[in-house]
Amino acid sequence: MDDSPIEAPRPLEPRPKAIIIGASSGIGAALARRLASEGYFLALAARRGDLLQDLRDEINAQGKGQCLTYSHDVRQAEQAPELLQRMLRDLGGLDLFVYCAGIMYPSDPERFDAEQDLEILQVNLLGAVAWLDPVALRFRREGGGHIVGIGSVAGDRGRRGTPAYAASKAGLHTYLEGLRNRLARHGVTVTTIKPGQVQTDMLKNAPQVRGPITAERAAELIWRAIRARKSTAYVPARWRWVMLVIRHIPSFIFRRMNL
Ligand SMILES: NC(=O)c1ccc[n+]([C@@H]2O[C@H](COP(=O)([O-])OP(=O)(O)OC[C@H]3O[C@@H](n4cnc5c(N)ncnc54)[C@H](OP(=O)(O)O)[C@@H]3O)[C@@H](O)[C@H]2O)c1
Share of the chain above pLDDT 90, in %: 89
| Ligand 1 pocket member 255 (CB < 6 A) | no
| Ligand 1 pocket member 126 (CB < 6 A) | no
| Ligand 1 pocket member 74 (CB < 6 A) | yes
The answer to the question of residue 211 being in a domain is yes
Instruction: Find the 12 Cα to ligand 1 centroid distance in Å.
Output: 36
The answer to the question of residue 1 being in a domain is no
| Ligand 1 pocket member 218 (CB < 6 A) | no
The C-alpha torsion from 154 through 101 and 93 to 50, rounded to 10°, is -150
pLDDT of residue 3 exceeding 60: no
Domain that holds residue 22: 17-254
Instruction: Find the 21 Cα to ligand 1 centroid distance in Å.
Output: 9
Instruction: Find the 224 Cα to ligand 1 centroid distance in Å.
Output: 20
For 138-173, the pLDDT digits (tens) are: 999 999 999 999 999 999 999 999 999 999 999 999
Smallest CA separation from ligand 1 atom 7, residue: 152
What band does 12 get if pLDDT is binned at 50, 70 and 90?
low
C-beta contacts of 197-203 below 8 A and 24+ residues apart: 198/26, 198/27, 198/235, 200/25, 200/26, 200/27, 201/25, 201/26, 202/26, 202/102, 202/103, 202/104
| Ligand 1 pocket member 121 (CB < 6 A) | no
The answer to the question of residue 12 being in a domain is no
Ligand 1 atom with least separation from CA of 21: 34
CATH number for the domain spanning 103: value is: 3.40.50.720
The answer to the question of residue 8 being in a domain is no
The answer to the question of residue 145 being in a domain is yes
Beta partners for residue 96, in sequence order: 18, 146
Q: Can you give the pLDDT at residue 6?
A: 53
The answer to the question of residue 7 being in a domain is no
The answer to the question of residue 4 being in a domain is no
Catalytic residue annotation: 165
Q: Can you give the pLDDT at residue 96?
A: 98
For 70-116, the pLDDT digits (tens) are: 999 999 999 999 999 999 999 999 999 999 999 999 988 999 999 99
The answer to the question of residue 9 being in a domain is no
Instruction: Find the 44 Cα to ligand 1 centroid distance in Å.
Output: 13
What band does 219 get if pLDDT is binned at 50, 70 and 90?
very high
Looking at residue 213, its amino acid is I
- Structural domains counted in the chain: 1
Beta partners for residue 149, in sequence order: 99, 192
